Amino acid sequence: MDVLLVLGTFVVSFVLQHLALYISLKYALFFDKNDTQKPQRCHDFNASRGGGIGIIIAFITASLYFDTFAQHFEGAIIGFGVGGFCVFLGGFLEDITGRISPLIRLCAQSVGALIAIIALGALVVDIGLGVMLPFALALPFSVFCIVGVCNAMNILDGFNGLTSGIALMALAMILLISDNALVHMHSLLLCCAIAGFFVCNFPHGRIFLGDGGAYFIGFMLALLLIVLTQSTDISAWFGVALLIHPLFEVVFSIVRKRFVHHISPFAPDNRHLHSLIYRKLTHSSPATSLCLYALNLPFMLCALLFARDTFMLMLLCATFAVIYVALYIWLVHKEPRRENCD
């Protein structure tokens, strides 16, 4: 039955991707026109931003069946379903209207995170090296972590298969190490739901995640990692090391925008690492994603290897930060062969 559920999750997601694409193109809903002025855009065709619809419907439907009729995980439907829908909705409304402020989206993410934390008891209490947070600090810190990963995955979303591919790699590592039944099964279902999107998005980019899809993937990854690391002997830094690229991208982007370019940290731009790789190295969306897979995979494998060693995981994160900054500086000063990404 689990095999049928897993395959069904993939098929439902895959079918819904095509349905969302059809509706989007026919009725111009959740539609990214090629003539709108977005500095981060690197495609020159009209695109649907409805990919997250198939992912969230396939995942929640499969989870509802599994949690209700199989293992009866208390709070999972509310935590993953209701909390995830709140997060998705804030981003999806932005995909539809383009006029939802970052503050409103942050509020939606915070509400969804709070619902999930309460429903699943997913508090970040142990932060490693013997440091334990009291409830008064653990609750807001847990919300902050979930919201941070939501936005990190959205910032990373810019090229065919990039966010979804990184998420699939991270979920594979979680599946390899997790013996928590709740985490393992929901990671597998999420993996299949994202895979149904991935085959439609990579390499040709027929449909995109949109803010809603990227936020939901980040929300689920953060929640699964919190439950995993806080209920086992796996270090809390395992999650940080596993997602070090999107997390460091957020930190670096905030510092860069605020102190170097003197713009709002929320302002979109085309100076992210993936944008520089595209403009100055690959000039290809799928090739850019492949380059970043190659950058991420060794660190993910090392995170898996040292999953219970907090000090080594912290050292791994520091190593990535050094490599990222060095690569970024080199790309900034590298002369591009041509400019084709506004």
- Which is more confidently placed, 26 or 321? 321
DSSP-derived secondary structure letter, 336: P
- Mean local confidence (pLDDT), 156-160: 89
- 């949690």: which residue's tokens? 67
- Which is more confidently placed, 108 or 40? 108
Among 11-15, 29-33, 90-94, 332-336, the range scoring the smallest mean pLDDT is 29-33
When pLDDT is cut at 50, 70 and 90, the band that residue 120 belongs to is: very high
When pLDDT is cut at 50, 70 and 90, the band that residue 33 belongs to is: low
Asked if pLDDT for residue 261 goes beyond 90, the answer is no
Q: Residue 244 has which token pair? A: 């070090």
Q: What pLDDT, on the 0 to 100 scale, is given for residue 340? A: 46
* 331 burial via Cβ count (<10 Å: 0-12, 13-18, 19+): middle
Q: Kindly report the CA angle at 213 between 317 and 293, in degrees rounded to 5?
A: 40
Which helix (H) or strand (E) segment holds residue 66: the answer is helix 51-69
Percentage, residues of the chain above pLDDT 70: 92
Asked if pLDDT for residue 95 goes beyond 60, the answer is yes
Q: Helices (H) and strands (E) in the chain — how many of each?
A: 14, 2
Q: What pLDDT, on the 0 to 100 scale, is given for residue 35? A: 46
Q: Residue 304 has which token pair? A: 């898996």
Q: Residue 47 has which token pair? A: 């695109």
Percentage, residues of the chain above pLDDT 90: 71
The whole-model pTM stands at: 0.92
When pLDDT is cut at 50, 70 and 90, the band that residue 45 belongs to is: low
- Mean local confidence (pLDDT), 152-167: 94
Asked if pLDDT for residue 37 goes beyond 70, the answer is no
Q: What pLDDT, on the 0 to 100 scale, is given for residue 68? A: 77
Q: What pLDDT, on the 0 to 100 scale, is given for residue 42? A: 57
Asked if pLDDT for residue 342 goes beyond 50, the answer is no
Q: What pLDDT, on the 0 to 100 scale, is given for residue 24? A: 87
Q: Residue 141 in 3-state DSSP? A: helix
In whole angstroms, what is the distance from residue 124 CA to residue 174 CA? 17
Q: Residue 134 has which token pair? A: 């009291």
In whole angstroms, what is the distance from residue 77 CA to residue 122 CA? 14
Q: What pLDDT, on the 0 to 100 scale, is given for residue 289? A: 96
